[in-house]
Structure 1
Amino acid sequence: MLSLVDLRTRLSAGDLSPEGAIRLAQEAIAAREPEVGALVCRHDAPLVATRGPLAGIAVGVKDIIDTADLPTQMGSTIYAGWRPRADAAIVSRLRALGAVPLAKMTTCAFASVDPTATRNPHNLARTPGGSSAGSAAAVAAGMVPLALGTQTGGSVIRPAAFCGVAAIKPSFRLLPMVGIKTFSWALDTLGLFGAGIRDVAGALALLADRPGIDLPEESPTGMRIGLVLQDFAGEADPEAVEALQAARRAAEALGAVVTDLGLPEAIAEAWRCHPIVQDYEARQALAWEYAAHRDALTPLLRAQLDAAQGLTAEGYDAARRQAHQARRMLKDVFSEHDALLTFSAPGYAPAGLASTGSPRFNRLWTLMGVPCVNVPVPGPGLPLGVQVIARFGDDGRALAVAAMIERGLRAGVGSVS
């Protein structure tokens, strides 16, 4: 994989030019894209900035995020060839920092659930997950050092786990959603993919203009971590359970105190409310597409919107109240824990391309609006990941704890056998 931190170090030292760094990405795309299929379109001769903290950094942009110089097609034939007049706010920020939005990455239609044709770089017979399929796969394949995705249920953390890359779904609205196709305005969150935790931490600090988010040189000490199985979401596969225990051992070896934690029933009930909030809002966000182009919608999304027509305002309001109550209770949980540790996905990436996998271990935390970080767990088989969660607005702590666990796992402490 291409590391953002390593590239920036080489660029700063003068060992690599911005044009040379972009060429590395282009060469990797030429080598891997034919088999992975992560890209929708790209620049062959992009304008490369020579100044800025991200000068020379190629970025993959999920294809629901507007770009003025490349089509934004939403993963749907309805928007085939559509060209926005302006960049999304996050793309403008990337350009201001010197980065090159090099390519648009595949997405499930409107960031929903119908799979793309993108393949998992670690096993081409398996899904990379979704809906940010191309973004996760491109980073995993070493095509770009940074990619943008979005999460409404589990569309950043889950594909990151399946593809073995680091990712963060930041606190709700830390990064601007202006110029990004809405699915659910109460849930949609912009996220980042990178080779490792330091890569996504550094990128988030720059994009959010919050230097304090970036990681300190030393690991935090004495962290209180609650290990959460999310029993209300069903059982995880044995390999995911072992990955979670490996992460626990790595954290404990580095001085963290990890305790098993059950969540209050009100929080479990909020997990059950997530689909109501999501689908009630999707029915409105995609009202024009549903009314004017229902037959052109992908099958699973069409069925989802069909079912959503029966949702009521009363049910939606009740679901929102339950979520609000759960957020208040989660503050109490974080009064006794610095971070939570849980599954990123139920197990390995599913075989075939008929499903992007289940987001059931992600959707609660998206509804809560809290920062979530995927930490890849090394092992002998397919990629696995664990999820580190911190209180709302404490993205730096989530990343610091994730980096600590990553460091322990890479050193072989608590590794998966």
Structure 2
Amino acid sequence: MLSLLDIRSRIEAGQLTPAGAVDLCRAAIAARDPGIGALASLHAEAAVPEAGPLAGIAVGVKDIIDTADMPTQMGSPIYAGWQPKADAAVVARLRRLGAVILAKTTTSPFASADPTQTRNPHDPGRTPGGSSAGSAAAVGAGLLPLALGTQTAGSVIRPASFCGCAAIKPSFRLLPTVGVKTFSWALDTLGLFAAGTQDLAHALALLANRPEIEGVTVAAPRIGLVLQDFAGEAEPEARVALETARRAAERAGARVDDLALPEPMPEAWARQRVIQDYEAAQALGWEYATHRAALSEQLGQHLDGAQAIPAAEYDAARRAAHHARRALKGLFSDYDALLTFSAPGHAPQGLASTGDPRFNRLWTLMGVPCVNVPVPGGPLPVGVQVIARFGDDGRALAVARLIEDALARG
């Protein structure tokens, strides 16, 4: 993979120019993307700024995020060729930092559960996950050092696990979603994919204009290991990865305790779908009313069912989420971070499904920062998820780095 920090270090040392760094990505895309299909469009003539803290960093942007110089097609024929007049707020910020918006990455239609034709870079017979399929695949394949995605249930952390890259779903609304197609306004969160946790911390600190995110360190963190039994069973490879990460954290000085989540949280997990679906029916109301036949089969059927969700059921789900957030806040008085599965196991075979977000739904609903840490050693990528309290993104990244470094030492 291409490390953002390594590229910037080489540029600052005079070993590489910003244009040369972007050319490395262009060459990688030309060589590898035809077999992966991670990119929805490529800006062949993108200018390369010479200055800025992200000068020389080529970025992929999920194709539900507006770009003024490339189409935003939402993964749907309804928006084929649609050209926004303005950048999304996060894209505008990247440009001000000197980054090059080199490509739009593939997405499930409207960031739904439908699969794309993008292939997993580690096994082309498997899915890269979704809905941020192209962003995860592009970083995991070494095409780009940084990519943007979004998560409503598990669309950042799960594909990162499947594609073997680091990723963060930050605290809710840490990054602005202005100019991003809405699926669920109470859940949608912008996220980042990169080669490692230090790359993520650097990029997020710059994007959020919060330098303190990058400066957090932890020496002997208290970690609660959570199995989320209410969400179903994990596959053997995911259980092995979680135990491997636990032992690595303990070797690095962490105290790791088995932790059962309190009762409001399983109920909130079960109701996440109600919030997501009720809001999707409204957010995609125009597309459903005027272009129902052009919607993908799975999304169309999903929205058919969502029309019948009563407002009272939605309100009850929001109350359940509120109670669960209060309970989770209490847990973090005893723990610096939680450790759990990023995905049920390896990426599923075939392209018919993007996998199951069951180990991500709760944390997206809670609005807390989540980081995927790849666990090396298996035949296919699998990661673990580090979670911290709301607003403590720097701590989530610091604990994730501690585990990442310990895993690298073996």
Equivalent position of 1:37 in the other structure: 37
The question of 1:336 aligning with 2:320 is answered no
Alpha-carbon RMSD across the aligned residues, in angstroms, is 0.6
- Partner of residue 182, structure 1: 182
- Identify the residue that residue 136 of structure 2 maps to in structure 1: 136
Q: Which residue of 2 aligns with 1:234?
A: 232
Count of residues in Structure 1 that have an aligned counterpart in Structure 2 = 410
Give yes or no for contact 1:294–1:302 (8 Å, CA) kept in 2. yes
Query: Which residue is equivalent to 1:407?
Result: 405
Work out the CA distance in 2 between the residues paired with 1:57 and 1:332. 40
Partner of 1:22: 22
Paired AA for residue 55 in structure 1: A
Q: Percent identity?
A: 71
Distance 1:257 1:25, change over 3 A: same
Q: How big is the shift at 1:132?
A: 0.1
Q: Paired residue for 2:92?
A: 92
8 A contact 1:60–1:103 mirrored in 2: yes
The amino acid of 1:111's aligned partner reads A
Pairing 1:347-366 to 2, within 5 Å after superposition: 347-366=345-364
TM-fit CA distance, 1:380 = 3.1
Aligned to 2:320: 322
**Contact 1:198–1:215 under 8 Å retained in 2:** no
Q: Give 1:225's aligned residue.
A: 223
Distance across 2 between alignment mates of 1:62 and 1:347? 24
For residue 164 of structure 1, what is the aligned residue in structure 2?
164
TM-score using structure 1 length: 0.98
Letter in 2 for 1:317: D
Partner of 1:415: none
* Residue 198 (1) aligns with residue 172 (2): no
Letter in 1 for 2:305: A
Deviations 1:315-351 (A, max 9, x none): 0000000000000010111111110000000000000
CA drift at 1:409: 0.5
Alignment-mate amino acid for residue 308 of structure 2: G
**CA offsets per residue over residues 169-193 of structure 1, 9 Å max, x none?**
0000000000000000000000000
**Secondary structure in 2 matching 1:214:** helix
Unaligned runs of 5+ in 2: none
Q: Deviations over 1:339-386 (max 9, x none)?
A: 000000000000000000000000100000000000000013100000
Question: 1:136·1:193 contact (CA, 8 Å) conserved in 2?
Answer: yes
Q: In structure 2, how many angstroms separate the alpha carbons of the residues matched to 1:410 and 1:48?
A: 34
AA aligned opposite 2:250: E
Mapped partners of 2:382, 2:265: distance in 1 = 26
How far is the alpha carbon of 1:44 from its aligned partner? Answer: 1.0
Structure 2 distance, partners of 1:248, 1:360, is: 21
User: What are the superposed Cα offsets for residues 2-61 of structure 1, whole Å, 9 maximum, x if unpaired?
Assistant: 100100100111110010000000000001110000001111121110010001100000
Measured in 2, the distance between the counterparts of 1:241 and 1:23 equals 40
Structure 1 distance, partners of 2:389, 2:163, is 26
Match of 2:344 among 318, 343, 346: 346
Contact 1:118 1:133 in 2 (8 A): yes
Does the residue aligned with 2:333 lie in a helix, a strand or coil?
A: helix
Hey, what's the Cα distance between the residues in 1 that align with 2:145 and 2:356? Answer: 26
Give 1:75's aligned residue: 75
What residue number does 2:271 align with? 273
Distance in structure 2 (CA, Å) of the matches to 1:310 and 1:380:
44
Distance, in Å, in 2 between the alignment partners of 1:224 and 1:338 is 5
In the alignment, the residues of structure 1 paired with residue 123 and residue 317 of structure 2 have an alpha-carbon distance, to the nearest angstrom, of 39
- Supply the distance in 1 between the matched residues of 2:43 and 2:66 (Cα, whole angstroms): 15
Distance in 1 separating the partners of 2:298 and 2:113: 7
The equivalent residue for 1:208 is: 208
Does residue 264 (structure 1) correspond to residue 262 (structure 2)? The answer is yes
On the 8 A contact 1:202/1:215 being kept in 2, the answer is no
Separation in structure 2 between the aligned mates of residue 19 and residue 379 of structure 1, nearest angstrom: 35
In structure 2, C-alpha distance between the alignment counterparts of 1:380 and 1:162, rounded to whole Å? 12
Deviation, structure 1 residue 209: 0.4
Cα distance between partner residues in 2 of 1:126 and 1:389: 27
SS of alignment partner, residue 291 of structure 2:
helix
Native 8 Å contact 1:2 1:142 kept in 2: yes
* Aligned-partner residue type, residue 406 of structure 1: E
Partner of 1:306: 304
CA contact (8 A) 1:225 1:259 kept: yes
Please show how residues 378-417 of structure 1 align to structure 2 within 5 Å: 378-412=376-410
Amino acid in the other structure paired with 1:100: V
What amino acid maps onto 2:25 in structure 1?
A
Instruction: Classify the secondary structure of the residue corresponding to 2:273.
Output: helix
2:173 aligned residue? 173
Structure 1 unaligned residues grouped into runs of 5+ = 413-417
Q: Report how far residue 215 of structure 1 moved.
A: 4.5
| Contact preservation (8 Å) 1:215, 1:399 | no
Measured in 2, the distance between the counterparts of 1:215 and 1:169 equals 18
The C-alpha deviation readout for 1:176-220, integer Å capped at 9, x for no partner, is 00000000000000000000111111100000000111145xx52
Does the residue aligned with 1:15 lie in a helix, a strand or coil? coil
C-alpha distance in structure 1 between counterparts of 2:354 and 2:377, whole Å: 22
